[in-house]
């Protein structure tokens, strides 16, 4: 899956001369948290919401509200924006974009086509893709297995699912405890649970780690 399939196209932008007040208005109006900064169409920086909030006077200030607004109107993106800007292209794999964000400790990547800004990919876009990859709200069974990392091992498991009457909705592999194994997370729809468990145990070389119905999890709220 590539960034170009998941990015927000034609992102809202600002210029180095955009004032703090104008930038905050853009964030609120479009419900966004980042503003790529373009100077004559060229990407020169980026501003995120926390940068704008950090630039505001402390609530303990003795300035009047009129003085605060006057100061913020004079504060431009040129003095706030972060640069240089890490970017990717549309052909960048989504997992590589996620890796870059983790390594650089950033929450977004502008997407370039040559020198032209064509989109932006954020951690929210990647979370949405992850939810879809893991099966979203499909009904059925979800289970995890540990499997030796060798040709044909996974094929036996997928055959067991089919023999139990199931259809795979999503399948994701993770590194195992060592280089010789993989842990597989599978969601399926339609299988007989008892038969599926038996087939995995008897007809494959997989270790069944957990299995249960797909359920929608609701967060607990405190405070």
Helix (H, G, I), strand (E, B) or coil at 216: coil
Instruction: Look at the chain and report how many structural domains it folds into.
Output: 2
Q: Which of 130, 151, 166 is the last residue of a domain?
A: 130
Q: What is the pLDDT of residue 57?
A: 54
User: 47 pairs with which residues across the strands?
Assistant: 35
CA distance 101 to 93: 13
Contact 121, 108 (CB under 8 A): yes
**Predicted model pTM:** 0.76
Clarify whether residues 85 and 187 are in a common domain: no
Do 176 and 157 fall into the same domain? yes
Contact call for residues 169 and 158 (beta carbons, < 8 A): no
Residues 209 and 140 in one domain: yes
**Residues 82, 29 within the same domain:** yes
Same domain, 204 and 188: yes
Confidence class for position 68, pLDDT limits 50, 70, 90:
low
Is the per-residue pLDDT at 60 higher than 50? no
pLDDT tens digits for range 150-177: 999 999 999 999 999 999 999 999 888 8
The number of angstroms, rounded, from the C-alpha of 148 to the middle of its chain's C-alpha atoms is 29
The answer to whether residues 97 and 167 belong to one domain is no
Q: Is the separation of the CB atoms in 16 and 70 below 8 Å?
A: no
Round to whole Å and give the CA distance between 196 and 207.
Answer: 13
What domain range is 34 assigned to? 3-130
**Same domain flag for 56 and 70:** yes
Same domain, 209 and 123: no
Residue for token pair 């479009």: 30
Percent of the chain with pLDDT over 70: 90
Same domain, 13 and 123: yes
CA-to-CA separations, 179 to 4, 147, 183, in angstroms, rounded: 32, 11, 11
Can you tell me the distance from the alpha carbon of 70 to that of 82, in angstroms, rounded to the nearest whole number? 23
21 burial type by CB count under 10 A (0-12 exposed, 13-18 middle, 19+ buried): middle
Q: Cis link prior to 71 (omega < 30° from 0)?
A: no
Q: With respect to residue 223, please indicate whether it lies within any of the assigned structural domains.
A: no
In a domain, 189, yes or no: yes
Please give the residue that has the higher pLDDT: either 219 or 114.
114
Q: How confident is the model at residue 54 (pLDDT cuts 50, 70, 90)?
A: confident
Q: The CATH number of the domain where 154 resides is what?
A: 3.30.70.260
Burial class for 155, CB neighbours closer than 10 Å (0-12, 13-18, 19+): exposed
Tell me: do 109 and 162 sit in the same domain: no
């Amino acid at each position: 899956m590539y960034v170009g399939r998941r990015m927000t196209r034609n992102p809202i932008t600002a210029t180095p001369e955009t004032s703090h007040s104008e930038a905050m208005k853009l964030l609120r109006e479009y419900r966004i948290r980042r503003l790529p900064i373009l100077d004559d169409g060229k990407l020169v920086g980026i501003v995120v919401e926390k940068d704008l909030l950090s630039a505001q006077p402390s609530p303990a200030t003795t300035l009047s509200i009129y003085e605060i607004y006057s100061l913020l109107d004079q504060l431009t993106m040129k003095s706030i924006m972060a640069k240089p800007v890490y970017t990717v292209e549309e052909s960048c794999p989504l997992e590589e974009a996620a890796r870059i964000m983790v390594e650089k400790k950033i929450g977004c990547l502008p997407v370039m086509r040559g020198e032209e800004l064509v989109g932006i990919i954020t951690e929210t876009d990647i979370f949405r893709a992850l939810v879809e990859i893991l099966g979203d709200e499909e009904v059925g069974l979800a289970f995890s297995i540990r499997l030796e990392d060798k040709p044909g091992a996974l094929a036996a498991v997928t055959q067991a699912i089919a023999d139990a009457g199931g259809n795979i909705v999503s399948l994701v592999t993770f590194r195992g405890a060592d280089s010789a194994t993989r842990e597989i997370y599978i969601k399926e729809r339609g299988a007989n649970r008892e038969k599926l468990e038996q087939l995995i145990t008897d007809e494959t070389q997989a270790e069944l780690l957990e299995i249960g119905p797909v359920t929608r999890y609701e967060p607990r709220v405190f405070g």
